[in-house]
């Protein structure tokens, strides 16, 4: 009888632990309904910019060198690296992309991981993809390495469309898109022809994937 009680208690404890883990992992990761978030410039403190510059000064990397001495830092996010543990990720670019230029000509952007004042990893993004900012980092699949969340926008004929890619950082320094969320924010209220509409999404992590919820908004 006592064994059965112990087994039942253990089963309940395991269920509670599993439930707690799911709740810890699930939740809103990005919220594009908040205007302050979606309109914000890439948030990087002056001290972090100095830290990145100092760390790169003694780091040899051809992709980073290709960005030039006047490279810009397009956002910062805390995440995890399998070897270094807790790190800070930064998105480096030759210059900020312009939403109205659909085919930018620029060197490949680079995601750099810093542990304190040291570079512990660099990851090259294909040059055809030019992101506007790094908006977050989350370990989607539980492998101990964070995917970085990179935002890009396009503007044409009065229509603004913003999308987010969850980018996997590979051990060999390359990157690949693990998941794309289209139209996290869409605004065609200034469209001279056709339907005028606006919508924003909240992005949550559920079961190892990013799940989107659409929130329609009114023009004006």
Give tens-digit pLDDT for 134-180. 999 999 988 899 999 999 999 988 899 999 999 999 999 999 999 99
Task: For residue 7, name the pLDDT band (cuts at 50, 70, 90).
Answer: very low
In-domain check, residue 175: yes
Phi-psi region at 90: left, alpha or beta (left = phi > 0; alpha = psi -120 to 50): beta
- SS3 breakdown of the chain: % helix, strand, coil, rounded to 5? 20, 45, 35
In-domain check, residue 107: yes
CA pair distance 155, 98, nearest whole angstrom: 9
Q: What is the dihedral of CA 59, 64, 65, 71, to 10 degrees?
A: -110
- Determine phi and psi for 51, rounding to 5 degrees: -65, -40
CA pair distance 79, 169, nearest whole angstrom: 12
Q: In the predicted model, what is the mean pLDDT of the chain?
A: 86
In-domain check, residue 4: no
Cα 211 off chain centre by: 14
Domain that holds residue 123: 26-217
Structurally, the chain folds into a number of domains equal to 1
CA pair distance 172, 121, nearest whole angstrom: 10
Nearest to 137 by CA among 14, 41, 59, 30: 30
Q: What is the mean pLDDT of residues 175-204?
A: 94
Reduced to 3 states, what is the DSSP secondary structure of residue 141?
coil
Give tens-digit pLDDT for 12-43. 333 333 222 333 346 899 999 999 999 998 87
Task: For residue 102, name the pLDDT band (cuts at 50, 70, 90).
Answer: low
In-domain check, residue 20: no
């Amino acid at each position: 009888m006592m064994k059965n009680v112990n087994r039942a208690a253990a089963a309940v404890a395991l269920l509670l632990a599993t439930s707690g883990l799911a709740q810890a992992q699930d939740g809103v990761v990005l919220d594009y309904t908040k205007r302050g978030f979606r309109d914000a410039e890439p948030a990087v403190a002056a001290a972090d910019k100095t830290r990145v510059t100092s760390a790169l000064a003694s780091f040899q990397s051809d992709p980073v060198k290709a960005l030039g001495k006047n490279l810009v830092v397009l956002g910062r996010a805390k995440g995890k690296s399998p070897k270094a543990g807790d790190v800070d990720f930064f998105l480096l670019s030759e210059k900020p992309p312009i939403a109205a230029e659909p085919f930018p000509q620029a060197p490949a952007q680079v995601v750099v991981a810093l542990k304190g004042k040291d570079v512990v990893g660099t990851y090259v993004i294909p040059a055809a993809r030019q992101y506007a900012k790094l908006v977050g980092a989350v370990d989607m699949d539980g492998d101990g390495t964070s995917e970085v969340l990179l935002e890009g926008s396009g503007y044409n004929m009065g229509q603004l469309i913003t999308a987010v890619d969850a980018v996997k950082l590979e051990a060999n320094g390359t990157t690949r898109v693990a998941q794309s969320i289209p139209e996290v924010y869409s605004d065609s209220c200034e469209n001279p022809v056709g339907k005028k509409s606006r919508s924003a999404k909240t992005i949550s992590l559920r079961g190892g994937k990013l799940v989107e919820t659409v929130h329609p908004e009114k023009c004006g």
